[in-house]
Each structure stands twice: as structure tokens, then as C-alpha cells.
Structure 1
Amino acid sequence: MAEPVTLLAFGDSLTQGYGLAQNEGFVPRLQRWLTDHGADVKVINGGVSGDTTAGGAARIAWSLTPEVDAVLVALGGNDLLRGIEPAESKANLDAILTEIESRGLPALLVGMEATGNFGDSYKTAFDALYPALAGAHGISLYPQFLQALVDLGDRQEVLRDYLQADATHPNPEGVALIVEAMGPAVLDLVEQAEP
């Protein structure tokens, strides 16, 4: 019998499942979604709350243990909160993707979109770095972690029904929508992997 594919979900508090019961976070929900859609996969939670792209770059090498077959990379939200220079975030993400590539592993990059807090030029530079990196590394790009909530189009509804009280992290209903929307892209990634 073939071994299951081991998928590392490498990210920050959004990946880690901040503020949620263990079975309601992104990774367990994604695991269930993938299994329900016929994937023989084991998803490892490589989310660290508060992690920046620099933190991710510092830990990627030892996170890629021998059993890892594919990697979902979802970092950048904390860089945004701190106003870290987009060029720095890009360099860190590039280092992460280069390390994954050096191991011959397929990856999916999950983007982030800046708010206007740091001005238009910051937003333009930050928003552009994910498509640029996905293109440079020849990997798939999922627009942004919270895409399913953005697509609802009603910020008040999202705040009321799909986010925790901190207005940043999704609640269980929000996670369910996020996984449903991102699932097909992750399934594609799993299908590229060789256990």
C-alpha cells in the first residue's frame, strides 16, 4: 500500500489555528477536506503564531524533515502588521522557496494583500511580491489566505460572522469557508507530490 503524502502547512497564526479549538483550526479542517475529496494525505501543522517571513526563513531548513513531500507556504501577515519593507519580506520568502526547491518538493504559495495603512507605494510593492515569487519559482499561487472572506464582499458581515473578536483571525465558520475555497489548490499540490 502506498504511503500517504505528507504536506507541511508552513505559516503563522492563521495556519496554526490561533484562538480555535484544536479540531477547528485550519490544519485539521484542511486534513478533513482533503480526505473527503479522496486524498491520501497527512497534513503537518507548521504554523507558528506571530511568525514573520524572517522567522520562517530561519526555521524552514529544519522544518523540512525527511517525510515532508509538499509544502504550503502562508507567511507575510505579521510582516504587514509591522510594516516590514516589502523587499525584505520578498527576500525571506525567496529564501524559503529556494530551500523547498533545493529539496525537490512541490510548493503552493499563499499570498497576502496589504491594507492601505502604509501608503499606496507600500501596498503596490507588497501585493506584487507574491505573484513575482510564484513566477520566479514556477509554483502555483493562491491569491490570499483570507480570499474566501474577501470574496464575500461585505466587510461588516465578515467581521460579524466569520472573524474572532480580534477582527483578524477567522472563527470556525470562517475557517470552513477558507478551507472550502483553498482546498482545490491544495489538492492540486498534493497530486504533484511523490510520497
Structure 2
Amino acid sequence: MRDVSFLALAALSAMLGLAGNVDAEDAPPAIVTLGDSYINSYGVLAATETFAARLKSGLTAAGHPVTIFEVGYRDTSERGLAWLAESKDGLGLQANPANHVVIIQLGQNDCARIDLKDTQANLDQILSILAQKRVPVLVVGTAAYDYCSSRLGADYAELFSKMFSELATKHGDLLYADFKTGVTGHPELLQADKDHPNAAGDAIIARNMLPMVEALLAQVQPR
């Protein structure tokens, strides 16, 4: 996990500003990635080959310097909500929302634990909190696992997919419909578990998502 403390970061930024007379408005936007093992690049061992590293590299090359904060693996929407609403770092983000955007990729692991209505309620609350703080958000959907439909009904996969677009529309957020776009159906881009993208897969995902992240950064709330 690559956890970051927003409170510690804020304190460090203040110290640097006092020491070097750095204008806070010159700080690059900060992208917070809140999600599960997909966006946290489970199984990709080289730090330079993760989704976040590839995305940062692509944005830099396109003229968008950013800082990316990976808050670490949150296996369910419930834990993602708890991070934002209860943790020191989540509360720090709420207290200092300016110059931040959030990419949210949560929910795929929920079907083994909670009902779809509860997944939707958790994500709705996350998006509501961020909307109140005027933090631009990119909602990233995923495809439901096959076993979810077997366990919860044939219509689960369709309802699950629609949930992301409905929530993004409700809150006026950007939507990237499926994290694994460009990778699904290509076994050479997946790890041995036939689920998580490998380094080459993460590179393709980051490249495909880049234009949407650029649109997200265009909405950043300046300090």
C-alpha cells in the first residue's frame, strides 16, 4: 500500500511555503485514487509500472504536472466510505479540498458481502460528501464478477453497471464506464489470476483513461 497522510502533507507544504516563499497556487493539482485492488495495481511489483505511475507519466508528458496520492487498498464501498468520512486522511481531504480531484473505483468486491442497494448507498454518500466540498470526481465503473450474478440473480450484472452511470449523472460527475476497457478479453494483459491487469495492462488502462483524467483536472478548484 502507498498510504499518504493529508495532514502531514499540509504541514509539510506550509513549512516549505514559509521557508521558500512558495505560492500555494503554484502547487500542481493532487489526484486522490480511492479504490480497490484494480486501481492499486495488485500484483504489479515495479513501482514505475503501476496504474498510478503510468497515469502520472502520461499526464506529465501531456503538460499536466500532478501529484497522485494512493490511499491504499479499500476492498469494499463500505471501507471506501469509512476512509473518507472517518479516517484522518479522509477528513484532511475534506478540510482542504482545494486543488484536489478524486478518482473513485469501488464496488466490485461488494457482492460477496453486501446488497447492491447498500453498495449504491455507500457510493452515493461518498459522492455527496465530495460534491459538498466541490471536489471534482471521476467515477470509474467495473464489470460485475460472474459469481455475483450466480449468487444474486441474472440481472445483477446489468444493474451493477448501470449504477455507476446513474450515480455519476446524479452528482454531475465524470464517468469512465469500465476500468479494464482495452484489457478485458486479452489474456496476455492479465495476471495469472485472469482478473487483475499486469504491467502491460495497466499501461493500456492509464493511456485509455488519460483524456478523461485531463477533463477531470480541468475542473480543479484552485486554492
- TM-score, reference length from structure 1: 0.88
The number of residues matched between the two structures is 186
Confirm or deny that 1:104 pairs with 2:134: yes
Residues 13-162 of structure 1 mapped to structure 2, 5 A cutoff: 13-20=37-44, 21-48=46-73, 51-61=75-85, 62-63=89-90, 65=93, 66=96, 69-80=100-111, 82=112, 84-117=114-147, 118=149, 119-150=153-184, 155=185, 158-159=186-187, 161-162=188-189
Q: Structure 2: any 5+ residue segments left out of the alignment?
A: 1-22
**Contact kept in structure 2, 1:5 and 1:194, CA below 8 Å:** no
| C-alpha displacement of 1:15 | 1.5
Secondary structure of the 2:64 match is: coil
Aligned partner of 2:12 in structure 1 is none
Q: Aligned to 2:160, what secondary structure does the other structure show?
A: helix
Question: In structure 2, what residue type is equivalent to 1:129?
Answer: M
Poorly superposed stretches of 4+, deviation over 2 Å: 61-68
Contact 2:76 2:109 in 1 (8 A): yes
By how many angstroms is 1:84 displaced? 3.4
Q: CA deviation digits over 1:90-142, x for unaligned, max 9?
A: 01100111111121111010011224432322122211111110111011110
Displacement of 1:71? 0.5
Task: Calculate percent identity across the aligned residue pairs.
Answer: 34
Query: What CA deviation, in whole Å up to 9, does each residue of 1:2-43 have, x standing for no partner?
Result: 210011011111111211122211111111111111102111
**How far apart in 2 are the matches of 1:105 and 1:16?**
21
The equivalent of 1:179 in structure 2 is: 206
Label 1:178 to 1:53 Cα distance change in 2 as closer, same or farther (>3 A). same
Structure 2 Cα separation of the partners of residues 15 and 115 of structure 1: 16
> TM-score, normalization: structure 2?
0.78
- Give the counterpart letter for 1:40 in structure 2: P
Cα offset for 1:83? 6.1
Quick one: which amino acid aligns to residue 147 of structure 1? T
Residue of 27, 34, 54 corresponding to 1:3: 27
* Secondary structure of the structure 1 residue equivalent to 2:205: helix
